[in-house]
Structures are given as C-alpha cells and as structure tokens.
Amino acid sequence: MWRNCVRLARRGLGRGAVLCPDPTVSHCGVVRGLSPAAPCSSLWNSVTWFSQARQSKDYALPNSSWSQGMMDLYSRFLEMCKDGTWKRIPSYDNSIDHTPESLKLTSEKERKETRLFPRNMDTEGVGFEYAMFLNPSEKRMVCLFQPGPYLEGPSGFAHGGSTATIIDSTIGGCAIFVAGRVMTANLSINYRNPIPLGSVVLVDSKVDQVEGRKVFLSCQVRSIDGQTLHAEATALFIQLDSTKSLQQQMSCQ
C-alpha cells in the first residue's frame, strides 16, 4: 500500500488512489464482525455528519503558516476528492464536533470547556497543522502533518509524543469510520527517523483486520517524497457500546 501512496505523492495522487485498493482489506468483510451500528453504508453518512457539524471553526483548512509543500499536497488530495474516492475530513477543536451525531451520548451534547488535544493552540503554525482525507472503500485515512515549533522534543525535531498523537488521531479516525465509537487499546510505534520541525509528512493509516469488536490497524509516517520513513505503527482499537459512557465500559477490555 505504501508504494502506492508514495506514487500518489509523486504523481499527483488522483490516478494512484483509484488504482490501488489494498488487497488485505475486504470491503465488506472489514465490518463483518461489528455490530449493526456501524455498517459499511454508514461511512458516507458519517462523513456527511462531520461536514454538517455546527458552525465551529474548521482547522483543517489552509492558513498562512502552511508551507508550499503542505499546500501542494493538500491541493493534490482535494483534486482526488472530485470523483468521490477521497473525502476531506473537517477538524474542530473539541471532541463533540468530531463525533458523528448518531454516536453522541445525550450527556455529551452540551458544549464543554475542553479542547481536543491536537487543536488546543490558537496561533496558526506553532502546533499541529494537519488535514485528513478518508478513502472509505480502502478503509484508509491519510493525514498531511506539519509540526510547528511548539511540538519540540529533541532540539529541532518533533517530540515522540507529538508523533504518537498525530498517529493516534489519524489511525483513530480510520477506526471510527469502520467501527463507530472506539477506544485505543494498544498503540505501538517504531520511531525510524526524527521529524524536523516545520517539515511536512504524510501519515498513512489503514484497517488491517477486524475480529469481533477488535479493529487492527497499521500506519506509516513518511516524508512527502516518500524517501524517508519517519515512523511505523500498529494499533488495536476496541469498539464500544454506543449507548454507554466510557466510564461505564471500563471493564470491557
């Protein structure tokens, strides 16, 4: 799958995306073990719910801090959205607006004074600049990520925790689209090469397997030219009961 993704970045993304279904993911089988609450057909509805969220600021749109590399990659993915194969995913500064309406609990619908972790800085460019695109038929979510100077770990490079955060967010978004309400159960990351602050990387995640309520995913983080592998990750997410709060389900794992 990754070779195809690199080809996308190199050749304009459109053609490669259409031609590279991931043979490890069955379009129907991927949700076979899941409850009726998250059928394949709900994916597009979920996307629509995301788009129809109330008038919150969408942070996944270009701003003046985006580098030319980030803009070029964003434009290429937008181009690929035109035939409906890919879908741009809006991004808000709170969890509620990230939750499709059908999955919200009554108790969660009120606005709280909380902020979604990767969207907690208002100054453009200093923190997480990112935009995600979903390919529902491939059960794949990619994230264009430009780490700002306030994400530092080793001098000049992104903190390992910030890399973990963008991976968890991307791979988690992918899991939500196949299984609805989910929670991270395991995240294992191999850090291959540090990510320079201000650079642009592509986070590419996909569903590998579904077993009952377990969703197994994998992810690679590469430079936009595909030449540098920054990180590889695997993850296990657990599908939750959409009628119960997280606290009520603490013993579910």
Name the site residues for a copy of itself (rule: CB under 8 A).
94-96, 99, 105, 108, 112-118, 120-121, 126-127, 149-162, 164-169, 172, 183-194, 196-197, 246-247, 250, 253
Toward a copy of itself, which CB reaches closer, 165 or 220? 165
230, 164 contact by CB (below 8 A): no
Let me know if 204 is a catalytic residue.
no
> CB of residue 82 vs a copy of itself: minimum separation in angstroms?
32
CB of 219 to a copy of itself, least distance (A): 13
Closer residue to a copy of itself in complex, CB, 193/243: 193
* 40/231 with CB nearer a copy of itself: 231
Q: How far apart are CB 79 and a copy of itself at their closest, in Å?
A: 30
Give CA separation, 71 vs 60, 163, 170, 224, in Å. Answer: 12, 21, 19, 12
Query: Residue 47 or 233: which CB sits closer to a copy of itself?
Result: 233
Inter-CA distances, 109 with 94, 101, 183, 204, 219, Å = 11, 9, 19, 31, 31
Cα–Cα distances in angstroms (integers) from residue 179 to residues 38, 112, 215, in the given order: 5, 25, 8
Taking the complex as a whole, the smallest distance from the CB of residue 241 to a copy of itself amounts, in Å, to 13
Name the DSSP class of 53: S
The end-to-end CA distance of the chain, in Å, is: 30
Catalytic positions: 168
